[in-house]
Structure 1
Amino acid sequence: MLQRIQPAKKLPALPIAEAAYPAPFAPGLEYSPAARGTWNIVHTGMLLPESHQIYICAAGCLRGVVLTAAEMGDAYRRRFSALELREDDLYRTDHETFLIEGITDILRRLPRLPRAVLVFTACVHHFLGCNLRYVYQTLRERFPSVAFAECVMDPIRQTKSLTPEERERREIYRLLPSDREKNRHLVNLIGSNLALTAKSDIKELAHACGRELLDLTECHSYDDFLRMGEASENLYTNPFTHVAARDLLRRLGQDALFLPQVWRYEEICDALTQLAAFLGGSCPDLRPRIATCELALNALHGQIGAQPIAIDFTFTFLPMSLARLLISHGFHVTEIYADAIAREDEANFRWLQHHAPDILLYPTKHPAMRRKPRAQADGAPPLLALGQKAAYFTGTRYFLPAVEGGGHYGLEAISWLAAAMSRAALLPQDTEQIIRRKGWGGPSCLS
């Protein structure tokens, strides 16, 4: 039955004290704001060296991934292909043959065969009952030197099954060989889009424990990637990686440690203590580094005082943790943009409900957010936004455009944050020009 969608009479914002955990907002029709800095499945797939991506779906769905590949520049665009499904294909086409022959034609036209091919089928193949097992078996027989990753671009089922991001990560790491001898000196960082900075707490502690840290974001060849199969353990900070980590434990026997992207000292110390024990080492005395963070935060507070701050979930996977850190140091957080609250952030969410009940919690996907005023009141102090969606919805020119923590973790992330917020509060930026670029921190041909 068709239902008329009435325009929302007011914005779906909630004082955080009134918000429900873990889903403050009812699901429904979704809106995508014009802040494009987050990474998508094309960006993530391009991290795999010497690989090629092939998408098979209708033109409407292809538009986004085609534009992503084009925006990444010629070197990446040449590693991308697509097969378009048209309406008459739904009832006239043998879809198994279409996939097999279409992918075969693409691969035979390339200058040389890639080491790996990430094939993205779509929701329509599920609806039509396409025999994908037969498709991949035939392709592997035709191209025995090519490793095929069975990815999907199927957002329709992502609330009931794996999201495309979760599936892609699992399929990429399923390409790691199972017959390699394990090296106790190697540990992987899996699932990240951005490389950790050299001074990240994770990198420094891994090296202090005598471990070499392998990361897909720093692999220069497919053989570099295959070496990750020799590691004995995996670390990960990206929550889209849970499924891949469990699969690697089952398939390769690689134990895993999830290090949530926490921001408070207590949380960071707990995470680093767990990491040291996991790697067979000991955690150093963190008090001198905490003192350095305190100096940086105090200096920042002296600079920006009560300047309003907005945070969104694309800046960090745990925005409640970050908000709690800032509020406990006297900063004025007024808005948080998040559609759901992660399990690792529940305690921080509850703390904010009690200690900062007037913070406004906004969704980012609700259609009514299209009508949110994106201009600040005359005479109001400029708002400082942490995250591109927060910058878009508030209309501010003072913001940090980083996504997923910007490659920082732990106490080093706090020192970086204080310095970056100090600069952002002083230097207005061209918001529209920055947030229109896809995949912050990745390659882009847009100036």
Structure 2
Amino acid sequence: MLKRVERPVLKDIKDACVLMKDAAFPAPFDSRLEFSCSARGFWNIVHTGMLIPEIHQVYVCAQGCLRGVVLTAAEMNAIDRFSNIIIRENNILEGNNEDLIVEGMGEILSKLPYTPKAVLVYTSCIHHFIGCDLNLVYRRLREKYPDIEFTDCYMNPIMRKSGVTPDQLMRKQLYSLLDKQELDKKSVNIIGNNFATDDSSELVKIIRENGFTLREVPRTKTYKEYKDMGKAAINITYNPVAIEGGIYLENKLNQKHLYLPLSYGFDEIEKNLDILCENLGVQKIDFTENKKMATEAIINAKNIIGNTPIAIDYTLTIRPASLAKLLLQHGFNVVSLYVDSFIADEEDDVKWLKENYPDIKVYSTMHVKMRFVDRHSEQKILALGQKAAYFTGSNNFVNVVESGGMYGFDGIVKLCDLMIDAFLNEKDAKKLIQYKGLGCENYDTNCK
């Protein structure tokens, strides 16, 4: 007879949870064996690469490593823009990996029903281990196919804990196909984001209402529109993982890089927007009305949500501590953060939380003990983010990743509306969080 095996609930989660007062900055938890929960809404390198229109992706790696990226392409209905070249044991022993890539690429291109404008070639850890001459590979590909552009991308998990991470490198290489050209002083790019910045945000409005052309990869519909990003005089980043891309383009194309970090602090938001105005050479704006609207939205949300416990995770926003500070300053009952490490921009926010709310719980999302944490609560919990929903077992959650394009005072207003909706209306968390790349499933215009 079959016997149901229940997942044990672990009461002792020491090392996987600390109080805010005891949380080391920037890394509250030791790096060790990791657990990956089934909240899959954040994007990976396949999703991000697919943002460039009219390109084809080719992954070169061992068959076992392909499972995840193949499934990603299939789930987002983009398998027609995806191919792979499999490395086998004999290729390692015979040392013919350069030929394997060039010849495999030839076979792929000959069978495609279209000619891609460019090919993103993702090599893997094995190429670095065996010293594959990738410079030779790309030189041969460009000579053989002069009408197609090739760029190097990487599926290299050994880079996760040191140097430039795979996510940072992908967001840099996303712009490697841009060419140096005459810069248009009335043209601006926002770079490094998987989602287009909201048109209603102060950031976008300042750019457009002062006569500047705004470009952003998630907005592009053709490869030419993507290439036109090389004209911009200024590149704006607000996600820290995109900074490498901003520096790269500043050195390659002489485009000025402005880092205007996402924040939920009114003073920091205003400071960043003032910096934008200064660099665009336009008059600074009085944000009194914007602050008033954001404050009213927060107060309205508090009146509805009341003292309901709130859990925040890092997949909803890159600034969970900043968001927690804003909510706590307005009387919300933030009880926990699900974050494995804090970015440098959060240092002052974390310090404030330590001093004012030292008993907030900080949970790792990757510690192995989190596999066995009690994910059921009799009390209603408002979860901000998919991982917060997973670990609390709450169906009252805001289903957003990477801030979803929200920025500035306008972003705060929109987030408050989403919090109210999540509080009043349950979702099917188990169903929704299993989809990879929120915004790409089935797939909408975010991924072409």
Q: For residues 369-426 of structure 1, give each alpha carbon's deviation from its aligned partner in whole angstroms, at most 9, with x where no partner exists.
A: 10111100x3x2x100111011111110000010111111000011101111111001
Is 2:263 aligned against 1:265? no
Task: Provide the C-alpha distance between the structure 2 equivalents of 1:109 and 1:165, rounded to a whole number of angstroms.
Answer: 30
- Percent identical across equivalent pairs? 41
Partners of 1:283 and 1:30 in 2: CA distance: 47
Q: Letter of the aligned partner of 2:401 in structure 1? A: V
For residue 382 of structure 2, the aligned residue among 381, 384, 390 is 384
Matches within 5 A, 1:280-295: 280-295=281-296
| Map 1:178-197 → 2, pairs under 5 A | 178=180, 180-197=181-198
Q: Which of 41, 46, 50 is the matching residue for 1:42?
A: 46
Cα separation, 1, equivalents of 2:131 and 2:157: 17
Residue 252 (structure 2) aligns with = 251
Q: Which amino acid aligns with 1:344?
A: D
**What stretches of structure 1 of length at least 5 have no aligned partner?**
1-6
Superposition map of 1:215-364 within 5 A = 215-364=216-365
Shift of 1:309: 0.4
Q: Which amino acid aligns with 1:313?
A: Y
Q: Is 1:435 equivalent to 2:445 in the alignment? A: no
Q: What is the aligned partner in structure 2 of residue 10 from structure 1? A: 13
Q: Is the 8 A contact 2:401 2:438 kept in 1?
A: yes
Which of the numbers 396, 399, 421 marks the counterpart of 2:397?
Answer: 399
- Pairs within 5 Å for 1:71-110: 71-73=75-77, 76-110=78-112
C-alpha distance after superposition, 1:16-74 (max 9, x if no partner): 1101111111111222110000011011011001100000112222111111100011x
Give the equivalent residue in structure 2 for 1:26.
30
Distance in structure 2 (CA, Å) of the matches to 1:22 and 1:275: 28
Which shifted more, 120-129 or 105-114? 105-114
Does 81-90 or 316-325 show the bigger shift?
81-90
Alignment match, 1:4: none
Which one of the candidate residues 152, 155, 158 is aligned to 1:153? 155
Distance 1:358 1:8 in 2: 18
Deviation at 1:93, TM superposition (A): 4.7
> Distance between the aligned counterparts of 1:111 and 1:161, measured in 2?
39
Q: Among residues 59, 64, 67, which one is paired with 1:60 in the alignment? A: 64
| Partner AA of 1:368 in structure 2 | K
CA contact (8 A) 2:435 2:441 kept: no
Shift of 1:261: 1.3
Q: CA deviation at 1:160?
A: 2.1
The equivalent residue for 1:416 is: 414
CA RMSD of the aligned region, Å? 1.5
Per the alignment, residue 214 of structure 2 pairs with 213
Report the AA paired with residue 57 of structure 1. Answer: C
Q: CA deviation at 1:297?
A: 1.1
5 Å matches for 1:192-203? 192-203=193-204
Runs of 4+ in 1 over 4 A off after TM superposition: none
Cα distance in 1 for partners of 2:386, 2:101 equals 38
8 A contact 2:187–2:233 mirrored in 1: yes
State the distance in 1 between where 2:229 and 2:342 align.
32
- Unmatched 5+ residue regions in structure 2? 1-9
The correspondence for 1:112, drawn from 111, 114, 122, is: 114
Compute the displacement of 1:304 (Å): 1.2
TM-score by length of structure 1 reads 0.94
Shift of 1:197: 1.6
Letter in 2 for 1:245: G
Q: What is the TM-score when the length of structure 2 is the normalising length?
A: 0.94
Contact 1:209/1:276 (8 A) holds in 2: no
Q: Deviations over 1:265-316 (max 9, x none)?
A: 1111111111111211123111111111111111111111110000011101
Amino acid at match of 1:46: M
Separation in 2 of the partners of 1:123 and 1:9? Answer: 37
The answer to whether the 8 Å contact 1:438/1:444 transfers is no
Contact 1:41 1:168 survives alignment (8 Å): yes
8 Å Cα contact 2:396/2:427 also seen in 1: yes
Residue 3 of structure 1: aligned partner: none
> Structure 2 vs 1, CA of residues 445 and 275 (structure 1 numbering), >3 Å: closer, same or farther?
closer
Offset at residue 159 of structure 1 (A): 2.0
Distance (whole Å) between structure 1 residues aligned to residue 388 and residue 90 of structure 2: 42
* Residue type at the aligned position of 1:280: G
SS of the residue corresponding to residue 174 of structure 2 reads helix
How far apart are 1:8 and its partner, in Å? 10
Q: After superposition, what is the alpha-carbon deviation per residue over 1:309-334, rounded to whole angstroms, capped at 9, x for unaligned?
A: 00011101111100000000000001
The alignment covers a number of residue pairs equal to 434
